[in-house]
Amino acid sequence: MDDTLLALLRRVDTPTVCNAIEVAQGKRGFNRFTRGTMLCSDPDAPAIVGRAVTAKIAALAPSTEAPDAIRARRMDYYRRMAEAPKPSVAVVEDVDYPDCIGAYWGEINANVHKGFGMSGAFTNGVMRDLGDLPDDFPVVAGSIGPSHGFVHVRELGTPVTIFGLTVADGELVHADRHGAVVVPEDVIPVLADAIQKLLDTEKLVLDPARKSGFDFEAFETAWAAFENART
């Protein structure tokens, strides 16, 4: 993914990308998106875009493993996050869902991941410290809470499932306050053109609707043009 496409993807929202994927595929039915309502630490921030670096955590109960094993896996986790090719996104499944209590994403952890050069975090788990999270590192999460519980890392690099969306390590993720999508690899080379086609098509209705004197007759004409142009 080149810098031009990356900049474009950060400017547009996730619904636009979701629709543009269908434009690129030439059909309806794309379904690699989250289900349900997620929360965003900074709803006005640019979209989170990057290759997924996946992990699983838990926090409801202490780990039964030896402390050395727990620490070693945690350091392996941070090494993977730091060394993953950029742009990257931390995609972390809390296996306690829907009973998540451990706010893994707080002031310290978010700043650490931002310092690694990552674009943001996407999780079904908990975030906190909302007034103190770093700028330019949005967190899209399942809930907000005060405690870190007994949070510990369980798995690294395995597929994770967050709000109905399964993400494999290395897949391209686009996320914002609406949720997230995984962009199919074969769509990436044509995604910029698909986004532009989508935006141009939407203008066929939006431009007339925003003009004074818009009525049903104008709508009918605009909608016919829109239907002829859309996927």
**128 assigned binding-site residue:** yes
User: pLDDT band at residue 231, thresholds of 50, 70 and 90?
Assistant: low
**215 annotated as ligand-binding:** no
Instruction: Say what the pTM is.
Output: 0.95
Rounded distance, CA 195 to CA 4, Å? Answer: 13
pLDDT of residue 120: 98
Which domains, ranges and CATH numbers included, belong to the chain?
31-183 (3.50.30.40), 191-229 (no CATH)
Tokens of residue 182, six digits? 């995984």
Q: What is the pLDDT of residues 34-78, one digit of tens each?
A: 999 999 999 999 999 999 999 999 999 999 999 999 999 999 999
Q: What is the mean pLDDT of residues 149-156?
A: 98
DSSP assignments along 200-225, one per residue: HHHHHHHHHHTSTT--HHHHHHHHHH
**Which whole-number Å values give the CA distances from 156 to 24, 39, 50, 173, in the listed order?**
32, 24, 17, 17
Per cent of the chain over pLDDT 70 is: 100
**What is the 8-class DSSP label of residue 16?**
H
Q: Quote the CA–CA distance of 86 and 124 in Å, as a whole number.
A: 22
Burial of 23 (0-12, 13-18, 19+ CB in 10 A): buried
